Amino acid sequence: MGVSAYRLMGIVNVTPDSFSDGGLFLDTDAAVAHGLELVDQGAHMLDIGGESTRPGAEPVGAEEELRRVLPVIERLADALKGQSVPSPGASIDTQISIDTAKASVAARALQAGAVFVNDVSALRGDSQMAGVLAESGACCCLMHMLGEPRTMQRDPRYGDVVDEVKAFLEERLAFAVDQGIAEHRILLDPGIGFGKTAEHNLELLRRLDELMAIGRPIVIGTSRKSFLGRIAANAQGRPEPVAAVARLPGTIATNVIALERGASVFRVHDVAAVAAALAVVVAIAKG
């Protein structure tokens, strides 16, 4: 098995409308407590987001996004800085990521303590984002998405989804480097569930080795997504997808497969469970 070192990116949605946990962590205290809990569970990164990117989500203005995320980032940065002896399973150098496509939000987040920018638009959403990343020296993730969150699931079509996603990621990688972002600071995400049918998602996972050929670390975000709910429902003979909180088995299965195929960063809600599963994969691979 082609298993290498991996990192877990714990999701902290500071939003009222995210598909799985919208509203649960909109309060700053709740979001900070959740982030620290994910660190205790073994998160190497915390991805803080103030704007939902679920299918059909409405956009949020920069000021509102900043109002949601900045206090959370500042408090988590302070807490992690002082956590010299982490809890069992915690990463001693957990990093903070800002999940945004807005340059102004990314810049303020980086000043507040974030070191990573997770841009679902792959530098297409804001013409100033590349400059912010190049000047700051922050690491980033560039993701494939067909259209935008409001429209991406309206009959997505591809000739060959893997070939098209690969070409897109190669083009965005080249663009980012041309804009002064060091290649070694760039990660790539095929965008599972972002403008893709269930079969598109499965095909990307089956042929992940083709995306690995680009030569950059691959981020996988399947956690609790609807295609897993539909697969589980079909297996049980149920007409409706199982609830988001019941999609952990599918999340684990997809992440195990992705790790075996070379992915190295996993964006998840359920850090402890996924960490335990991936530890088994690594143990098996080591023989």
pLDDT in tens, 122-147: 999 999 999 999 999 999 999 999 87
Is 15 inside any structural domain? yes
pLDDT surpassing 50 at residue 86: no
Lowest mean pLDDT among 52-66, 145-159, 241-255: 145-159
267 is catalytic: yes
- The answer to whether the CB of 269 falls within 8 A of the CB of 11 is yes
Q: What is the pLDDT of residue 222?
A: 98
Which of these is catalytic: 225, 230, 247, 261?
225
Task: Give residue 73's domain range.
Answer: 7-215
> What pLDDT digit, counting tens, does each position of 256-275 carry?
999 999 999 999 999 999 99
- The answer to whether the CB of 91 falls within 8 A of the CB of 44 is yes
What is the number of other CB atoms lying within 10 angstroms of the CB of residue 145?
24
Is 241 inside any structural domain? no
Is 116 inside any structural domain? yes
Confidence of residue 58 (pLDDT cuts 50, 70, 90): confident
Mean local confidence (pLDDT), 174-203: 97
Confidence of residue 21 (pLDDT cuts 50, 70, 90): low
Is 28 inside any structural domain? yes
Distance (Å, whole) CA 142 – CA 188: 5
Is 110 inside any structural domain? yes
Confidence of residue 92 (pLDDT cuts 50, 70, 90): low
> What pLDDT digit, counting tens, does each position of 93-126 carry?
799 999 999 999 999 999 999 999 999 999 999 9
pLDDT surpassing 80 at residue 82: no
Which of these is catalytic: 75, 108, 261, 267?
267
Q: What is the pLDDT of residue 93?
A: 79
Mean local confidence (pLDDT), 32-40: 95
**How many domains, the chain?**
1
CATH number for 17: 3.20.20.20
Is 272 inside any structural domain? no
**Mean pLDDT of all residues belonging to the chain:** 91
Q: Are strands 219-220 and 265-268 parallel, antiparallel or unpaired?
A: parallel
Q: What is the pLDDT of residue 70?
A: 97
Is 277 inside any structural domain? no
225 is catalytic: yes
Is 257 inside any structural domain? no
Strand partners, 267: 9
How far lies 137's CA from each of 115, 118, 130, 203, 223, in Å?
Answer: 9, 14, 11, 34, 29
